[in-house]
Structure 1
Amino acid sequence: MSFGTLMFFVALFAGYGIRVNRPSILKWISQSLLWITLGILFLMGYGLGSLDNVAENLMVALEMALLFLVCISLANLLGLFPVIRMTTGEASGIRPPFMTMLMESLMFAGVVVLGLIAGVLLNKPFAQQEMLANGLLYCMLVLVGIQLRSGNVAIKDVLLNKTGMRIAATVTVTAFFGGLIAGWIAGVPANVSLALASGFGWYSLSGIMIGDQLGPVYGSVAFMVDLSRELVALLLIPFVIRRNAPMAIGYGGATAMDYTLPVIERTGGVHCVPVAVASGFILSLAAPLLIPMFLGVA
């Protein structure tokens, strides 16, 4: 387990030790999660806009990234659809009107675009970006932990969640299948295709690991595939989670335990959180193991 992953769970458990009964405080926590999410998304867009290697061979990287994104996404969604009857707990989140959900999803995407524009215009990496993003994540997980405790969700449901394990397994297998199909179409070696499919939305990890081994083009492809997956998840989750929570949670990939977790909690309810954390945790552990394993295959 990496130090960062360990700290995520320390923050979650710290929040779980606090029980809140006052509705006004719980409402404040919910609103705080929204603002934290917007802050994280802005930083994510800024990071993309300030990267130098994204501009290199941009058309090639974009075409390949789109191909891998479509193939992996379709494979994931088709694989996750049959698990609609799997138990996730009551989806008790507020279901806003269609236009409200649409505007919220566009708001999330718009904040990323604003961050992207800021990164391009300033053309200067933000030295404290990762530290600030991690700080916001830790705050978010503390607040989520408080919500779990206040909603009487047992911690064992987070750590020993069979549904989360099955979702993670489905995402992994179907991502491999989609990656191999995309690689076959693009003429990419099988081991590289599997490595590109193993990011599960963790764009900072996959972009760096693959870029170090295969150069900036493949690094940019990995980065854009996983970043785009996260953005699609943010748009998809509010519309899907009430009808098929496993599909919404699973498509979030590794981000289901951090970046997309507030959206899952906000639209699906606190009882979807244990499944999301369990699935995201497994995929977060798998990504840094699978990527170097595939890249090490001759």
Structure 2
Amino acid sequence: MTSLLPVLSVSGLLLLGFAVGKILPPSVLRQMLKPLSAVVLLLLFLMGAEFGGIFTDKALGADVVKRALLLSSLIAAFTAALLYRKGGRAAPSGSFWPPFFGCLKAVAAFAAGVAAYRLLPHGTLEGVIGSTQVLYLLIFLVGTDLVHVRLGGLNRRVFLLPLFAAAATAAAGLAFSLLTPYSFGQSLMLSAGFGWFSLSGPMVGELVSAEMGATALMTDFFREMFSIVFLYFFGKTQPAAAIGLSGAAAMDSALPFVKENCEPEYVKYAIVSGFILTLAAPVSISALTALLY
């Protein structure tokens, strides 16, 4: 039941934001949404600060990071290949620099958070504001902006997207098992969080081991970072692949990036796909750990 609380929270905030967006005058709504990009950068900074311990902890081990980076890279590659749209919209002329600088700002914000963790006295940022609060604010703001998005008319492609994303993740797990000492089942378990690192890390760590939990957490974390980069560069031309790579995060932490970098019609793809994969993640991890251990 605990694993469903984030789903209910996100859904409730989106609905609340949508209701507020319906009530507010358009001029007030535009003013409210102006700081959206700045709030996104604040979220990335806080995520960097909260994950600074992982990036600066030698005890975690370079091997864990390397394995997680390999698995997340395979997930990104297989997702891009499986969801590639041959007839995708061509990138407009001169479209490289805006996403490049947008991505650069995102990476810089995250790196600044890691640096803050490293340089500031321990506990300086604790209790001030957390990434969860900022994330929920972002989801509320995205909900208010959904009044401009047509969420009706869900077709088969919307529901096929999470299935293809899950298939790509499984294919990446198979490739990972051929390249490392991990079995296919273990590889599936490590990737079964579908980008939900705050669930996969603690859950796998509790059910299996701390090392496996750290690997699962870092795999999903790197997957989300790759998805943000992918959204900045290919959100306009390959939105399905970008949303598929976002996995479960497509309905929460990656949703502002989908809203910012994809066409409005793809917001509903992100919400539906993220919702389905969010429900699938705890079930998949539980089932795989029960079978393997």
TM-score normalised over the length of structure 2: 0.87
- Which structure exhibits the higher relative contact order, with contacts defined as CA atoms closer than 8 Å and separated by 6 or more residues? 1
Alignment CA distance shift 1:185-1:142 (3 Å)? same
Q: How many residues align?
A: 285
Q: Deviations over 1:25-49 (max 9, x none)?
A: 4443443221221122112111211
- TM superposition shift of 1:184: 2.3
Q: Is the 8 A contact 2:149 2:267 kept in 1?
A: no
Give yes or no for the alignment of 1:39 onto 2:46. no
Q: Which amino acid aligns with 2:113?
A: G
Residue in 1 that maps onto 2:250? 256
| Two-structure CA RMSD over aligned residues (Å) | 2.7
Unaligned 5+ segments in structure 1 are: 86-90
Give yes or no for the alignment of 1:173 onto 2:167. yes
SS in 1 for 2:193: coil
Q: Which amino acid aligns with 2:150?
A: V
TM-score normalised over the length of structure 1: 0.85
Alignment CA distance shift 1:228-1:259 (3 Å)? same
Unaligned 5+ segments in structure 2 are: none
Q: Which amino acid aligns with 2:59?
A: E
Give yes or no for the alignment of 1:153 onto 2:147. no
Q: Is the 8 A contact 2:73 2:223 kept in 1?
A: no
Equivalent residues in 2 for 1:135-214, closer than 5 Å: 135-149=133-147, 151=148, 153-154=150-151, 156=152, 160=154, 162-214=156-208
Q: Deviations over 1:229-257 (max 9, x none)?
A: 11111111122121121111111111111
Q: Is the 8 A contact 2:149 2:264 kept in 1?
A: no
SS in 2 for 1:296: helix
Residue in 2 that maps onto 1:104? 102
What is the aligned-residue identity percentage?
27
Q: Deviations over 1:98-139 (max 9, x none)?
A: 22211110111111111112223345496558x833322222
- TM superposition shift of 1:199: 1.6
Give yes or no for the alignment of 1:132 onto 2:130. yes
Give yes or no for the alignment of 1:58 onto 2:61. yes
Greater mean deviation of Cα atoms: 167-176 or 232-241 = 232-241
Q: Is the 8 A contact 2:195 2:248 kept in 1?
A: yes
Alignment CA distance shift 1:96-1:107 (3 Å)? farther
Q: Is the 8 A contact 1:83 1:246 kept in 2?
A: no
